[in-house]
Amino acid sequence: MFRSFDPIEFILVIPVLLWGLSFHEFCHAYSAKLLGDDTAERAGRLTLNPLSHLDPVGTLMIIILLITGFPYLVGWAKPVPVSSRHFKNIRRDMIIVSIAGIAGNLLTAITFVTIARFIPLSVLGNAGEIFFRRMIEINVCLAAFNILPIPPLDGSKILYGFLPFEWLKFYYFLERYGFYILLILVFTNSVRYIMSPVMSFFLRLVGYI
């Protein structure tokens, strides 16, 4: 997305990322609370305050990525703690909590696409147009990335809810090495090709294309 460092775009994208990451984690915490688990709330994660959700190393990676445009980096926020023992239906409720963050990002994108249909982006000026486009694109990107069925991403927990019990051993094996698999996909840039059709689908879903 960033071919060279643009200080104006950097300034505009920072609040977009703060919102996208914070709202994503808030949606996890809020859905868990609704389903009977207050673990995230007691940990101070039922909030939109970015300081409660940002991971120091993950945030640093995001900043380096934005400044350098280096494609082989990935940033992250702190995962929301969830205790499934509080759920009435563990599999179903874990799927709901996992989908909630992705849904939050897509809801953000849909909201800004809808606003843009009533307010021409040209009226907002160059900075306003960049802000709106990045709010849509980055939130769709976060949704597409997190839905990948690779631990520790949300997609892996969604997949877990649908797997037959006899396949769970393979899932637990994958969970141990999921982070390393994800790093390999990022460093080889393979994740871009995996995410591309998902992003295209989500962009059409929110009405951006």
Q: Tell me the sheet residues that pair with 102.
A: none
CA 186 – CA 154 distance, rounded (Å): 17
Q: Tell me the sheet residues that pair with 54.
A: 77
- CA-nearest of 164, 140, 118 to 20 is 140
Angle at 65 between CA 125 and CA 112, to 5 degrees: 35
Buried b (16+ CB within 10 A) or exposed e, 74-105: bbbbbbbebebeebeeeeebbbbbbbbbbebb
Active site residue 9: no
Q: Which two tokens stand for residue 74?
A: 């990935």
Which of 25, 41, 137, 166 is flagged as catalytic? Answer: 25
Task: Identify the helix (H) or strand (E) that includes residue 98.
Answer: helix 90-118
User: Quick check: 153 and 182 in contact, CB under 8 A?
Assistant: yes
Q: Tell me the sheet residues that pair with 77.
A: 54
Indicate which residues carry an active-site annotation. Answer: 25
